A and B are shown apart, each in its own frame.
Chain A
Amino acid sequence: MAKSSFWQKVIDIDRRWIYLVIGIVTFVPILKYIGMPVAVTSEVKAVYDMIESLPPGSIVMVPMEFDPATAAELEPMSRAVLRHCFSRNLKVISTAFMIDGVVLIERDLREIAAEYGKEYGQDYVYLGYKPYMQIVLLNMGENFRKPFPRDYYGARLDELPMMFGVNNYSNISCIVNINATSGADYWINYASGRYGAKLALGVTAVMATDYYAFLQSGQIFGLIGGLKGAAEYEKLIGRNKDVANRSMDAVSVAHVFIILFIVIGNIAFFVTGRQKRL
């Protein structure tokens, strides 16, 4: 009976103790950085290889659809991709179809471009936000100027040197869409499906497993999934000490503890279940 009351106590433990343990095991590895190596996967390497293969001056579209809620996963990824593009002297067009992230993405673009001495209008353009992205994506397939007569800063697209002769997806070498929403489906259906644009996705880990089917079918050429994907991309561009890489220790330890919780919970469940039957 003593045994069953112990395991019963284990099952009935106040959830706040679990919260405390998770908080500690996630926080401590951030303070004490170990630097466990991150292995690169083929789907992330495919995105890296595509950007590497583009000649300088090529235009890449990096639309970013995330907000502060998902920025912890997607901001490191988008920064790594932007750094790679700017370091290769590629020109970048960006949009933000998630309204809560419009200002955040503008800041990221501006800061990363400044790191590489890039000039707005010459090396990168930020189109900004428009609602109902599925409609805007279709419109952009005809001409960027239709849904975006002006860029985010109010300048007409025709006034921007980079946009001379750039009308729609056919003038873009590839699209690397960083997305936290089901809008990724619209990029697949509309930009890639209807207009044949070369598309790679960078998505949250929650969504990543859903897009392996599109990777296998060739509808997307690469997939960066979650903070791990961001860490892989940072490693590929030679920035092993950036935020995603430094966070992988904490992710590892937290995973181990969650698995431990699952195992303990199951042991307690089966022991108490057996005790009840006896």
Chain B
Amino acid sequence: MAFQYFVPHYLSAAIYQNALNWTIIIGIFTLVVGIGSLISLHYDKIARRKEHWPYSVVTMVALALMTVIGLWSPDAIQNPRGLFMHLYFFVLAPVTATMFALLAFFIASAAYRAFRARTVLATLLLLSAVIVMLGRVPIGEYMTGWLPEGLRFSDIARFILDYPNTAAKRAIYIGVGLGVAATSLKIILGVERTWLGGGQ
């Protein structure tokens, strides 16, 4: 697949196409295996009456119901008035969204407790964060709008994002690109075998 990138021959393109199609189909089964693992885990909890096992009953019932509702009707995922869509918009969506919304509280608490200007580097990080936090919201413009152009929070934040931030992320991406290339080569050449799991 790495070699075909450089070979425009129609046979190379045909192999490329089929390999891509096959990968997607195999991938679907892999995702189903993941769901199977979830069922196995919760079934085990219920069967052995482990701690909090009643909640596993909730999970299994919800899974079964949602699957039946989703697979029963051929247009379950397209009908905006159907039960499947209602369960998605009024059960799955709000809970998922709220779980991530909790992070706002946690980041505030973490910033209060852990964000300390102990060293010069930590202070630099802190200053950069504060400038960007104020410079990228309207209140920053209110606070420093009276300053000449170039000295306002918004201008300094822009400078930080366009230049030092770009330099830092570029260095990281070059490292990531080289790392991905090295790991891909190791997998292809059989040097990297951790994906095989334990045993022979």
Contacts and interface: CB of A to CB of B under 8 A. Distances in A.
A248 B138 contact: yes
B-side binding surface: helix, strand, loop or mixed?
A: helix
A18 B20 contact: no
Given A37-B141, A259-B130, A212 B169 contact: yes
The listed residue with most A CB atoms (<10 A of its CB), out of B97, B105, B112, B126, is B112
Nearest to B177: A189
Given A71-B97, A131-B28, A26 B104 contact: yes
A261 B114 CA distance: 11
Given A209-B169, A258-B108, A68 B115 contact: no
B108 A210 contact: no
Nearest to B19: A135
Given A69-B96, A100-B92, A259 B133 contact: yes
A139 B21 CA distance: 8
A276 B60 CA distance: 54
A130 interface: yes
Contacts of A254: 104
Contacts of A37: 138, 141
A103 interface: yes
Given A212-B165, A266-B117, A146 B138 contact: no
B99 A69 contact: yes
Interface string B100-136: 1100110111011101110000000010001001101
A152 B27 CA distance: 19
Contacts, number: 152
Interface in B35-52: none
Given A36-B139, A147-B24, A256-B139, A22 B165 contact: no
Interface in A206-261: 209-213, 215-217, 228, 248-249, 251-259, 261
Given A69-B99, A69-B100, A255 B24 contact: no
B55 interface: no
A194 B117 CA distance: 44
A132 B27 contact: yes
A104 interface: yes
Q: Determine the interface band of chain B, counting residues with CB < 8 A from chain A.
A: 35 or more
A142 interface: yes
Interface in B61-120: 77-78, 80, 85, 88-89, 92-94, 96-97, 99-101, 104-105, 107-109, 111-113, 115-117
A57 interface: no
A26 B158 CA distance: 25
B112 A261 contact: yes
A-side binding surface: helix, strand, loop or mixed?
A: helix
Interface in A104-154: 104, 106-107, 110, 130-132, 135-136, 138-139, 142, 146-147, 152-153
A266 B142 CA distance: 25
B147 interface: no
Interface of A: 11, 15, 18-19, 21-23, 26, 36-39, 41, 67-72, 100, 102-104, 106-107, 110, 130-132, 135-136, 138-139, 142, 146-147, 152-153, 194, 209-213, 215-217, 228, 248-249, 251-259, 261-262, 264-266, 269
28 contacts: A11-B113, A18-B105, A18-B112, A19-B105, A22-B104, A26-B104, A36-B138, A68-B92, A68-B94, A69-B96, A103-B85, A104-B93, A131-B31, A135-B24, A142-B17, A146-B20, A152-B78, A153-B78, A209-B161, A212-B166, A216-B166, A248-B137, A252-B137, A255-B133, A255-B137, A261-B108, A262-B115, A262-B130
Given A103-B85, A146-B17, A262-B112, 8 more contacts: A37-B141, A103-B77, A152-B78, A213-B169, A251-B137, A259-B130, A259-B133, A261-B108
